[in-house]
Structure 1
């Protein structure tokens, strides 16, 4: 083994625990969603006409903030040239708020509905939900680790972003185009 392979192998070692924990989170959510008998009781927040409206609007908020995340990441990584000293804070806070917006949605999905595989859209949505939290967990655990490859955060962030976009497409966009825009 030459020096390059040794360095590459060593640089992947800090990712083993975050990837393992993220995979466990994704699998645990999927198993729970499958084994948990859905209660059918809706979980909603004040101000929305019902739980579905709550879910699609909170997911839409998370989706918009994910777009802010992608844009701010491109600025931070120098892909978009802007001199904005607060871009790092914008990136961190938009991510935090986006994640918080997903929590009541995920709770409702798992508690009231469980994982469902009877239609393609709902099955994809259930799987993407598990993947989103797995990728998010992996990214958050990899974030403070030193010695990881330079592609780590862009790839993990991109995977979490992609899963969230897929969740929005299979829930909010479907809702808006099928049932209309409702609050």
Structure 2
């Protein structure tokens, strides 16, 4: 006789996900702090410098993140409009693209600039905005781990996926605003 028991939905999966996410975020922060920043092995994608490229790609990530929230609300019937059959596939593909772009930008951030606090070797005082950005950028990748575990688990409670998605979205928005948003306000659109 087949076992048809429904797996018990408890706190093990969310707790394990948050611990794994915290470890990822912490390890990224530690690496960023001990790594010697360099522009070697980076690209500008034709922009004037790495920062300009990161701003443009970060804006794209922000747009994709908003699309993810709208898509999720639509799929779960929260918009009052029936979701088309292709929406789930589009949601997964745009989420994957957002993640790949975030890894690309994150690599360039951590590799080219590291995790800077206080005064840099060049005598530049890192502003609070920069430190907040660095901490939350590391947390974004921890939140990605949490979200992937929420999506993949069948034993997680029903609240876990929307909380994981909301956490990731919120962190992404703040990271984009403390980097690309700030840059665009100060310097305008990159050339």
Normalising by structure 2, what TM-score?
Answer: 0.85
CA distance in 1, matches of 2:106, 2:64: 17
1:16 aligns with 2:24: no
C-alpha distance in structure 1 between counterparts of 2:96 and 2:160, whole Å = 19
Partner of residue 116, structure 1: 116
CA shift for structure 1 position 42: 7.4
Quote how far apart the aligned CAs of 1:57 are. 0.7
Q: Is the 8 A contact 1:14 1:146 kept in 2?
A: no
What corresponds to 1:107 in structure 2? 107
How many Å separate the matches in 2 of 1:174 and 1:59? Answer: 12
Structure ranking higher in helix proportion: 1
One of 132, 152, 158 as aligned partner of 1:150: 158
* Residues 117-136 of structure 1 aligned to structure 2 (within 5 Å): 117=117, 118-136=126-144
Name the Cα RMSD after superposition: 1.7
Determine the C-alpha separation between the residues in 1 that align with 2:142 and 2:106: 13
Alpha-carbon distance between aligned partners in 1 of 2:174 and 2:166, rounded to the nearest angstrom: 12
On the 8 A contact 1:62/1:102 being kept in 2, the answer is yes
The whole-number CA distance in structure 2 between the counterparts of 1:66 and 1:47 is: 24
Distance, in Å, in 1 between the alignment partners of 2:104 and 2:47 is: 13
CA contact (8 A) 1:24 1:134 kept: yes
Gaps of at least 5 residues in structure 1 are: 1-8
Q: TM-score, normalised by structure 1?
A: 0.89
Per-residue CA deviations over 1:5-51 (Å, capped at 9, x if unaligned) read xxxx9511123332221111011011111121222547224332221
Give the Cα–Cα distance (whole angstroms) in 1 for the partners of residues 114 and 167 of structure 2: 23
User: Any runs of at least 4 consecutive aligned residues in structure 1 with deviations exceeding 4 A, and if so which?
Assistant: none
Q: Secondary structure at the match of 1:81?
A: coil
- Alignment length (residue pairs): 175
Mapped contact 2:14–2:156 kept (Cα < 8 A): yes
Which SS does the other structure have where 2:10 is aligned? Answer: helix
Q: Is the 8 A contact 2:129 2:178 kept in 1?
A: yes
**Which range moved further: 74-83 or 57-66?**
74-83
| Aligned equivalent of 1:94 | 94
Map residues 66-77 of structure 1 onto 2, 5 A cutoff.
66-77=65-76
Could you tell me whether the CA contact under 8 Å between 1:19 and 1:138 is conserved in 2? yes
Once the two structures are TM-superposed, the CA of residue 65 in structure 1 deviates from its matched residue by: 0.3
Contact 1:42–1:51 (CA<8 Å) still a contact in 2? Answer: no
Comparing 58-67 with 172-181, which one deviates more in the overlay? Answer: 172-181
